[in-house]
Amino acid sequence: MEPTATAEAEASTNGKSGAGSGRSIEVHNPATGKLIGTVPAIGPDEVTALVERARRAQPAWEAAGFAERGQGPRLALEGEIKPGGRVPIATRGGLKARGHPVGATGVYQIVEVVQQLRGMAGATQVPGARLGMAQNIGGSGATILTHLLRAN
């Protein structure tokens, strides 16, 4: 796969670009050879900058008290956010798993928490779930709603 120039290809985290070159690499389905899409062609310095931006974008886990300041990403790295972990988060893949249908995401979060609390979450069920939290951040973070739900 050769890099192809695209004017709009950018790596973005938290609304900030990381790929200044505008170059991208085509991604193909290995079974069919069909073009799936493109990804930014970025170098090590840009990857480092994007990782740092992603790290700064994870303070919600820390603000909610699930991890000490600066330790939020460790929850994921150590498997603590999986359905069987200490702090199961987005047990069905979160917003990306649903294509992030703006407006409906908050409703789906509530549905997922209720299903967990009722023991109806199937393969992603958290054993003994008694308390659930759904948090939805709107726009650039100007609006944040947090719901805490408890099983009866």
List, for residues 34-45, the tens digit of each pLDDT value.
888 777 777 788
Tell me the C-alpha distance between 23 and 112, whole Å.
Answer: 39
Report DSSP state, residue 7.
T
Task: Return the structure tokens found at 69.
Answer: 């300041």
Residue with tokens 């498997």: 79
Average pLDDT over residues 17-42: 74
Average pLDDT for residues 97-125, to the nearest whole number? 87
Read off the pTM: 0.58
Beta-bridge partner residues of 136: 145
